[in-house]
Chains A and B, each alone.
Chain A
Amino acid sequence: MTLGKTIFGVLLSVSSILLIFWVIPAQTTTSEYTSLQPAVYSLIPAWGLLIVGVLATLQGLRSAPNVDDIQLPVVPYLLRASILAMACLVFIVLVERIGFLVMSPVLIALAAVAQGARNPISIAGVSVAVPLTIWLIFDLMLNRPLP
């Protein structure tokens, strides 16, 4: 049995069942004027996902141990990426209030430090120059204002 594929298959199967029997019927309306209901086109890929989920579960259960299983350290990877995703969310919330030219240097500087940049002069240079260039191109040259 390969744990990764089995878990993926079970989760996908359960999600697909929820989609087919609960989410899609609740989020679509029935029309009297059409032979093919609006839900049908969403239900076809949902059934496809269910079949993939069941096959993945079976494949996971029948495979030899560690065959084709997840190779990467998923949890630390997810944690690090989640921090960046959260930073991006904070960025888009604050950028509407404070502005692109103030928030972008902070985001770039934090991201660069997280990626291993240590020279404060180059960090400051890149953090200021890049947003300023983007702002000049979009706001002044293309007349497409940023927040």
Chain B
Amino acid sequence: MTDILTGITEALSFGTIAFVILGVFIGNLMGAIPGLNSTMAIAIAIPATYLLSPLVAISFLVGISKGGTIGGSIPAILFNTPGTPEAAVTALDGHPLAKQGKPLKAMKTAVYSSVTGDTMSDLFLILLAAPLAVYTLKMGPVEIAAVVFFSLTVVSSVVGSSILMGFFATFLGLLLSTVGTEVETGTERLTFGSLDLLDGLSLMSVAIGVLVLGEVFMEFAKGRQASPTVIAARKSENPEDNGLSFAEYFALRWTLLRSGLIGTAVGAMPGIGSTIASVVGYSSARRASKTPEAFGKGSVEGIAAAEAANSAVVGANLIPLLTLGIPGNIAAAFLIGAFEIHGMQPGPLMFIEQKSLIYGLFAAMLIANVSNLVVASMTLRMFSYAVLIPRHFVYPVVLCLTLAGGYLVDDGGFAAVLTMIIFGFVGLLFRLFSVPVLPFVIAFVIGGMFELPFRQSIILWDGGVMTALEHPVAIVFVLAGCAVFVRVATAMMRRDRNLVERLAGQD
């Protein structure tokens, strides 16, 4: 109890609150700039957290993540170009509503719904994480290996348009995670005699390279692009069009609750992510709505459903991270890097060894939601101008920030920045050939963690097939992973067959 109160007290300190608000502000701004997102902002901000205490650093990064979700809805609403992929669904109703002269109403609906979904998901995290962590600590290596197998299978199968590319990314990530010193024998593995590779490839260099530099390279590869037409976030003469009244918000309660629950459930599953959550939340709201015909034409309900669902993923994504040490999405993968910078390994043991940090983080997340509401409500019009920042300056600045950050992560130096550039090019190739980045990063992150339980499982498994029956939880996870794979593979094969038949029909 003392640890919990210590954590909450630290979260309520001026420093933590100030950095949470700063994080939310940066997240809002980065989300509002088309082409940038909160993940890129987290990657760029990580080097700046070295001198902060672990709680302040992690809370700052979580603030960026939460702020980015709301910021991403601004370009989606104002010019139909989502700042973040998950905001694409928000654009379906947000942009038509803005075209009707109600851009502020659309943006405020997005803010209130986002904060509601986010808070719901945080409450689930706070209530579920500790009991789940207690259970996880009782799990043996076989169960842990099975959970990792399940996570990797789900991520490989569900993310991206092709299951083959998903597995390609996963296997490549796993292979690269084996570079360095082998855990049991201490011998070198795939280091090619390089001393820089003895500790393995740096997580931050690889992740920042693939995710941020890969995106920057892709933007440069596209060349010059025309600026889209923007709808100005002007106030309407009718005050009702400039905001969302409490009565309107209350009328959305079931939509928000449904989408919040969908986002939480999706977020708790590793790798599925907020884009799928917003699609599922939106389509469920449409099915349940009394006015489904209004969807796609500027429906407030549609905006609320999409935003509540995609924001609910943010908190829930920390469930697999804090209870299993498995990142649920890219932002969580970066948080692992941030935890490591501060000498900590996220996972269930944190609930015993770092109780005050965990509960401080939970408190900071709730503070971030309040900050998000206040900051976003106050700065919506200001951030709407961020969409006008010329793209030809956005990416050069991101490039410079990323390279500078490379000198600071993991004690930096030439090797770290070179790794970053090489993996930036790998990230470009991934984007050119439609290889999903998420399975690669998640496999790379958990590959190293998986090795020891995997080895122990193989030794335990030596007893034969009957030994498997002693691990029913592991069997459930392995079967569930296989079921997801078969389900997705069958659906994709059916889709491909239909496409081939359609093309044959055209001939």
Contact with B along A23-54 (1 / 0, CB 8 A): 11001110101111011011011101100100
Residue numbers of B with Cβ under 8 A of A are 47-48, 50-51, 161-162, 164, 167-168, 170-172, 174-175, 178, 182, 184-185, 187-192, 213, 216-225, 390-393, 395-397, 399-401, 403-404, 407-408, 414, 417-418, 421, 424-425, 428, 432-433, 451, 454-455, 458-459, 496, 499-500, 503-504
Cβ contact within 8 Å between B175 and A49: yes
A29 to B168, CA, bound (A): 26
Chain B residues positioned under 8 Å from A63 (CB to CB): 496, 500
A70-105 Cβ-contact flags toward B at 8 Å (1 or 0)? 101010111011111100110110001000100010
In the bound assembly, the distance between CA atoms of A33 and B187 in angstroms comes to 12
Residues of A within 8 A of B225 (CB): 116
Contact between B164 and A45 (Cβ–Cβ < 8 Å)?
A: no
Q: Are A122 and B393 in contact (CB under 8 A)?
A: yes
Question: Contacts A56-B164, A70-B433 given: A143-B51 contact, CB under 8 Å?
Answer: yes
- Whether A31 and B185, one on each chain, are in contact in the complex, defined by CB atoms closer than 8 angstroms, is yes
Cβ-defined partner of B500 (8 Å) among A12, A38, A67: A67
User: Would A100 and B404 count as touching, CB distance under 8 A?
Assistant: yes
Instruction: Select one of A64, A88, A115 contacting B395, CB under 8 A.
Output: A115
Query: How long is the Cα–Cα vector from A41 to B433 in the complex, in angstroms?
Result: 27
The total of interchain contacts (Cβ-Cβ below 8 angstroms) comes to 197
- Interface residues of A, Cβ cutoff 8 Å to B: 4, 8, 12, 19, 23-24, 27-29, 31, 33-36, 38-39, 41-42, 44-46, 48-49, 52, 55-56, 59, 63-65, 67-68, 70, 72, 74, 76-78, 80-85, 88-89, 91-92, 96, 100, 104, 107-109, 111-112, 114-117, 122, 126, 130-131, 134, 137-138, 142-144, 146-147
A46 contacts B175, CB within 8 Å? Answer: yes
- Least Cβ distance of B390 to chain A in Å? 7
Q: Are A80 and B188 in contact (CB under 8 A)?
A: no
Measured CB to CB, the closest approach of chain B to A10, in angstroms, equals: 14
User: Are B171 and A49 within 8 A (Cβ)?
Assistant: yes
Q: In the complex, which residues of chain B have a beta carbon less than 8 angstroms from the beta carbon of A27?
A: 188-192
Contact A85 B217 (CB under 8 A): yes
CB neighbours (8 Å) of B433 from chain A are: 4, 8, 70
A52–B503 CB distance below 8 A: no
Residue pair A29, B187 in contact (C-beta under 8 Å): yes
Distance, CA A44 to CA B172, complexed state (A)? 11
Beta-carbon nearest neighbor of A16 in chain B: B171
A85 touching B168 in the complex, CB below 8 Å, given contacts A27-B190, A63-B500, A137-B48: no
Q: Report the minimum CB–CB distance from B452 to chain A (whole Å).
A: 10
User: Once the chains bind, are A115 and B178 in contact (CB under 8 Å)?
Assistant: no
Main secondary structure of the interface of B (DSSP, over half): helix
A selection of 18 A-B contacts at a CB cut-off of 8 Å is A28-B189, A41-B182, A45-B175, A46-B175, A56-B164, A64-B503, A80-B220, A81-B221, A83-B220, A88-B424, A91-B403, A111-B220, A116-B391, A117-B393, A126-B397, A134-B400, A143-B51, A144-B51
Residues of A within 8 A of B396 (CB): 107-109, 111-112, 115, 126
Chain A: CB-nearest residue to B421:
A88
CB of A77 within 8 A of CB of B175, answer: no
| Contact (A36, B397) CB under 8 Å given A52-B164, A91-B403, A146-B404 | no
| B399 near A92: Cβ-Cβ < 8 Å | no
Given the known interface contacts A34-B185, A81-B221, A112-B393, the answer about A134 and B404 at a Cβ–Cβ threshold of 8 Å is yes
Smallest CB separation, A29 vs chain B (Å): 4
Which residues of chain A have C-beta atoms less than 8 A from B161's C-beta? 68
Give the Cβ gap from A50 to chain B, nearest Cβ, in Å.
9
Question: Given A34-B184, A68-B162: A142 and B48 within 8 A (CB)?
Answer: yes
Closest chain A CB from B476 CB (angstroms): 23
Q: How far is the CA of A143 from the CA of B424 in the complex (A)?
A: 27
Q: B56: shortest Cβ distance to chain A, in Å?
A: 13
Beyond contacts A27-B191, A77-B432, A111-B399: 12 other A-B pairs, Cβ-Cβ < 8 A, are A28-B190, A38-B187, A38-B189, A64-B500, A81-B425, A89-B418, A91-B403, A107-B396, A115-B393, A130-B400, A138-B47, A146-B404
Complex: A138 Cα to B224 Cα, angstroms:
32
Q: B52: shortest Cβ distance to chain A, in Å?
A: 9
Across the interface, name the chain B residue whose C-beta is closest to A142.
B51
Q: Are B432 and A52 in contact (CB under 8 A)?
A: no
Q: Residues of A contacting B418 with CB < 8 Å?
A: 89, 92
Residues of A within 8 A of B395 (CB): 111, 115
Interface centre among B51, B217, B221, B418 (most CB of A within 10 A): B221
